[in-house]
Amino acid sequence: MQVSTSKVSGVARSGLAWLAAAAIALPLAACAVGGNTVTGAANASGAPAPVHSSLKPNPEFAGLPQYVGTLGKRPIVMRLGAKTDDPEDKSGVHGEYQFTDTGEVILIAGDRTGSTLEAEESNDGTHITGNWVGTFAADGALSGDRMEVDDSNPQPFDLKPLAAGASSPAVSAAHAAGTATPAAQGGHAVGGVGNLVTGE
């Protein structure tokens, strides 16, 4: 029996076409359901991966001590002070921090024992999104690392206390009002598909 080479190459071509289509479709499907195939690339830049919070600054935290500085390479303002809801909890601290470049607000709560801070953060008040471990210096400065929930991807933070009465750094006006721009989100929509953007 003689097999035509044109039939074999046609079968091989259709098999390769199917494989190529599957290879393209799977990453797109993962992105469509919230997957992020570039987390490692984003974290290699030295900046924390965006947390995407819809929280606004809490007026209850406005009177807490403020710290200004950086988390990774991004500027932040942190409002952090002693918890007042449980008088027996002498080490408990809580507050929030805000990225001044995007206006995103993240809650933070934990314990300060001596000069050591151990805290967890949340972008919605329910789910823990990261861990903070740091040290307060004699001058009040706070430095250490912010890590993912599994203690991976440490990002350094370096914060200085803001003097009483001093104004904190301005937050980006577009983001403070809650109007995020596509460029600030990391790219432009591709072919009208909002969850697939360039620059990610």
Predicted pLDDT of residue 40: 42
User: How confident is the model over 92-124, as pLDDT tens digits?
Assistant: 999 999 999 999 999 999 999 999 999 999 999
Phi-psi region of 11 (alpha: psi -120 to 50; beta: other; left: phi over 0): alpha
Predicted pLDDT of residue 176: 47
The strand ranges marked E within the chain are 66-71, 74-82, 92-99, 105-113, 116-122, 128-136, 142-147, 155-161, 189-190, 193-197
Predicted pLDDT of residue 90: 87
In the predicted model, is pLDDT for residue 197 greater than 50?
no
pTM > 0.75: no
In the DSSP assignment, the letter for residue 104 is -
Position of tokens 């003097």?
163
The DSSP bridge pattern shows strands 189-190 and 155-161 to be unpaired
- The span from the CA of 75 to the CA of 179, in Å, is 19
Predicted pLDDT of residue 121: 97
User: How confident is the model over 54-93, as pLDDT tens digits?
Assistant: 899 999 999 999 999 999 999 999 999 999 888 888 899 9
Averaged pLDDT, 2-27? 47
Averaged pLDDT, 133-156? 97
In the predicted model, is pLDDT for residue 145 greater than 80?
yes
- The span from the CA of 151 to the CA of 128, in Å, is 12
